[in-house]
Structure 1
Amino acid sequence: MEDFKYISENGYLQPYPDFPPEEPKDLCNSDYSGPFNFEVFVDPNGLKNPWEYSPALNKIYIDIKHKFPINFSVKSEANAGKLFVRVMPMFEEDRYFHELVHRCICHEQLQDPLNNGSGERRIGSFKFHFAAVQGIPKLVAQHIIRCDNINARYFGDKNEGKRLSVVIPLSGPQAGTDSVKEFFQFVCKNSCVGGMNRRPIQVIFSLENG
């Protein structure tokens, strides 16, 4: 990833300045592969997976903190430059369309174990353990979705009425594959009061350029 420059904020690496705008220009929850044949899919369920995916319903059932894989594929010979994937949660019901999806007050507190900034990351065959004494940035604590990609950048602020989203650079697939796998996790429960309040959500994956 030598094409990117990074700054560090409490253990979170943030690329700049080639990322897309903080908010998408258009919001759409309809499937559209576009000129780059962009596809998003989930691996078939394994026997030991802590999550369940229903292809018929296109829904994933998972508890808080468990990681799940999402595969991204772009099949085009066009020169698109640097590509990014934006991951944005939205409420599924139209009556809540304009409301922001964010964590509940309890899980958003920086004292919450999920906000202490510690954990592990894997690069190739190497595993790195890290710890950020000051924990994660306050704005990241608002997000219900996190990505294991060390280059992920978190946009939005519920206090300013801006939708929350995670943006990651889309790298090329490894040899022998035609897709890129990224791992995500939910860090708030659908049943949490003051957050999602048992309202179903949908996660929008959009392909963008810088």
Structure 2
Amino acid sequence: MYISQPMSWHKESTDSEDDSTEVDIKEDIPKTVEVSGSELTTEPMAFLQGLNSGNLMQFSQQSVLREMMLQDIQIQANTLPKLENHNIGGYCFSMVLDEPPKSLWMYSIPLNKLYIRMNKAFNVDVQFKSKMPIQPLNLRVFLCFSNDVSAPVVRCQNHLSVEPLTANNAKMRESLLRSENPNSVYCGNAQGKGISERFSVVVPLNMSRSVTRSGLTRQTLAFKFVCQNSCIGRKETSLVFCLEKACGDIVGQHVIHVKICTCPKRDRIQDERQLNSKKRKSVPEAAEEDEPSKVRRCIAIKTEDTESNDSRDCDDSAAEWNVSRTPDGDYRLAITCPNKEWLLQSIEGMIKEAAAEVLRNPNQENLRRHANKLLSLKKRAYELP
């Protein structure tokens, strides 16, 4: 048998009677491997000849672990998105939205929701911690449905047909989200479900960066939307920001809800009012729901008995509300509401009736003028303090 040693070869006896020789051979093998490993560059064949099963198992395990890590990165990029915030990479990743005065978009803090008009840009500041060694980082941004993350978000055909198709804007044309930053890359397709396969915008975070007092790197990005929520079935949508390494590994994620509409201020007020009404559910209403049926019947009987008195009260309130008829034959109503919500609801009811009449009689200009006046009145009512 031949045993490898550094830069030399010698023969050992294979006689079965000489047991001591076999013991010496077994004891020399680990030493030979250790020395050979240090001189791997000078004697590669000797190193390979001296490998034992333990070394081979160790290298095999390292290869398997490396393959599992690469596979995990690939699986992470191809899974369905999760609407949650995380910082698994330790980069302290976060988003900052500073709403400027008199802007065309609004951000609701209690709802974590962005309200914005179509084709209007909004700015968002990306903050993250620089780690050594410094690696290039990218920000992947995409839209997904809040209640169905498996369905891809695509543009409607009406807005898609308006934008001409060229050789350089194929993916950008079909993306509902647009980036105003240079060097942005549009990825994905209409059938993609995974994070890396669906329509998204990838922005490199290596340019125009500034460092805050807390030591975080901050970069300003600008985005806009080229469709509305009404174009995609009025479904609720969320905007997902993924902080990625150059290899595609996601090390941070931030999610904000988005509503693309024609009147951001109105929708924000309505949504926040609904949120507050849910929180302020009064105790008397809950007690009334639990009230026995007999008591409810008594209340109904009492209401019928006092119907005549209520009619007199209505007559008095009609006089206070200044109900009259104009010389042209129209009717005039001046009302006083105890709060702004009742006023808006009253105007909204009149708008619905006017819109229905316009649909029934599309050729009558007086109905159209009346509907437009109601819309202007509603706008003024929203601006009231």
* Structure-2-length-normalised TM-score: 0.39
Q: Which moved more, 1:76-85 or 1:100-109?
A: 76-85
Is it true that 1:104 corresponds to 2:135 in the alignment? no
Partner of 2:91: 36
Match of 1:170 among 172, 187, 205: 205
Q: 1:160 to 1:51 in 2, by over 3 A?
A: closer
SS of equivalent residue, structure 2 residue 171: helix
Partner deviation per Cα, 1:98-152 (whole Å, 9 max, x = no partner):
110011011112xx2xx369xxxxxxxxxxxxxxxx4852221111110011111
Cα deviation, residue 80, structure 1:
4.4
Return closer, same or farther for 1:51/1:136 CA change in 2, 3 Å cut-off. Answer: farther
Query: Quick one: distance in 1 between partners of 2:114 and 2:192?
Result: 30
Instruction: Note the C-alpha offset of 1:81.
Output: 0.9
CA distance in 1, matches of 2:212, 2:130: 17
TM-score (norm 1): 0.70
2:184 aligns with one of 143, 148, 152: 152
Q: Which residue of 2 is the match for residue 130 of structure 1? A: none
Q: Which residue of 2 aligns with 1:24?
A: 77
- In structure 2, distance between residues paired with 1:78 and 1:155: 29
**What CA distance in whole angstroms lies between the structure 2 residues aligned with 1:24 and 1:154?**
16
Quick one: distance in 2 between partners of 1:37 and 1:176?
Answer: 13
In structure 2, give the amino acid aligned to 1:165.
Answer: S
Counterpart-to-counterpart distance in 1, 2:211 and 2:127: 14
Between structures 1 and 2, the one with greater helix share: 2
Matched to 1:36, the amino acid is Y
Who is 1:50 aligned against?
104
List alignment gaps of at least 5 residues for structure 1.
1-19, 118-133
Indicate how the Cα distance of structure 1 residues 180 and 116 shifts in structure 2: closer, same or farther if over 3 A, else same: farther
**1:200 paired to 2:252:** no
Secondary structure of 2:230's match? coil
Cα separation, partners in 2 of 1:184 and 1:146, compared to 1, 3 Å:
same
Q: Which residue identity lines up with residue 83 of structure 2 in the other structure?
A: N
Change in CA separation of 1:188 and 1:48 when aligned onto 2, cut-off 3 Å: same
Structure number with greater Rg is: 2
What is the CA RMSD across the aligned residues, in angstroms? 2.5
How far does residue 176 in structure 1 lie from its aligned partner after superposition? Answer: 6.2
The count of aligned residue pairs is 164
Matches within 5 A, 1:55-134: 55-93=109-147, 96-109=148-161, 112=162, 115=163, 134=166
Following the alignment from structure 2 to structure 1, what is the Cα–Cα distance between the partners of residues 84 and 192? 27
Bigger strand fraction: 1
